[in-house]
């Protein structure tokens, strides 16, 4: 069962923009030591949109070997067309992915029938769980609750959704209601860096997918929630909230996360790839203040 905190693994680059595989291995070890219940790969926070096919393969090989079955791996395999998504999904499955996180086509925006065709093709091509990524702020593709519930009932391997359509908590609650008796078999995750993690949990979310630098904080919040310790969860969350908010800046959040991981000694460089933006000098000063406020536990 997919549940808990699944940080999206950032992609460490050397200063020349090439993938730093040594830092990637260190990051995976760090996230597991921080208590991650699983890992998300090649998502938006991974700069997956900048990676070459050969880089994805080499990175997945390294991560599968490093994790060695200790936690589930959810691999992003969305594409602009159904054939491409099927090919990426099969490749990920064959290489050791435990589940797939699939964005809808985002260049030519499909209607409901087009989305059913796309996810149906992927479901027919694989045998592992598919998590539908409902992220209209990124894709401009709307997936109403009724459509997600239809996918859950009609498509064999569609068994999860990552809801990133604001307002996330009410949508998660509405989806749980729409699923009815099928809700127990369908796993709903939140995203958007966990900014509404607590509300999502109380509406029925079974997991969240934030970025890589606050994993121990999110795990502590999640564990409090699982024990019914809501006040303690809020206290932990409020300490990190200024940093969580800062990292939600479009185009700049990945840079902030990487700078935090460099400060923690986890990765070597905070380099990002175009079109991802880097924080400027003023931004780095702001980030340092927020990092201290959040009391980020950063010893690798």
Domain residues of the chain, as ranges? 4-237
How does DSSP assign 245-285, residue by residue? HHTTSTTTHHHHHHHHHHHTTSSS-----TTSPPP-HHHHH
Provide the token pair at 12. 């460490």
What band does 296 get if pLDDT is binned at 50, 70 and 90?
low
Q: Which CATH number fits domain 4-237: 3.30.450.40, 3.20.20.70, 3.10.180.10, 3.20.20.60?
A: 3.20.20.70
Whether the predicted pLDDT of 27 surpasses 50: yes
pLDDT at 298 over 60: no
First to last CA, the chain: 28
Report the pLDDT value the prediction gives residue 12, as an integer from 0 to 100.
98
CA distance 40 to 247: 18
The whole model's pTM is what?
0.95
Token pair for 210: 């934030």
pLDDT at residue 188 tops 90: yes
- 40 in helix, strand or coil? strand
List pLDDT tens digits, range 223-248: 999 999 999 999 999 999 999 999 99
């Amino acid at each position: 069962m997919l549940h808990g905190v699944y940080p999206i693994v950032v992609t460490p680059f050397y200063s020349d923009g090439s993938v730093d595989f040594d830092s990637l291995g260190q990051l995976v070890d760090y996230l597991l030591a921080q208590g991650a219940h699983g890992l998300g790969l090649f998502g938006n926070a991974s700069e997956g949109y900048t990676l070459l096919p050969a880089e994805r393969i080499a990175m997945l090989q390294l991560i599968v070997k490093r994790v060695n079955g200790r936690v589930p791996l959810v691999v992003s395999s969305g594409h602009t067309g159904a054939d491409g998504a099927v090919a990426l999904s099969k490749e990920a499955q064959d290489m050791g992915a435990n589940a797939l996180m699939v964005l809808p086509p985002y260049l030519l925006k499909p209607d409901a029938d087009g989305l059913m065709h796309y996810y149906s093709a992927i479901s027919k091509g694989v045998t592992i769980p598919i998590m539908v990524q409902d992220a209209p702020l990124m894709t401009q593709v709307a997936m109403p609750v009724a459509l997600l519930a239809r996918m859950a009932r009609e498509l064999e391997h569609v068994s999860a959704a990552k809801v990133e359509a604001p307002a996330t908590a009410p949508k998660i609650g509405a989806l749980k209601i729409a699923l009815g008796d099928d809700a127990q078999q369908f796993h709903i995750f939140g995203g958007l860096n966990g900014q509404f993690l607590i509300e999502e949990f109380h509406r029925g979310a079974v997991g969240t997918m934030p970025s890589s630098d606050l994993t121990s904080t999110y795990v502590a919040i999640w564990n409090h929630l699982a024990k019914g310790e809501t006040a303690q969860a809020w206290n932990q969350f409020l300490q990190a909230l200024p940093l969580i908010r800062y990292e939600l800046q479009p185009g700049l959040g990945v840079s902030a996360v990487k700078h935090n991981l460099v400060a923690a000694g986890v990765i070597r460089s905070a380099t990002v790839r175009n079109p991802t933006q880097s924080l400027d000098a003023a931004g780095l000063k702001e980030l340092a203040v927020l990092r201290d406020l959040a009391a980020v536990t950063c010893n690798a």
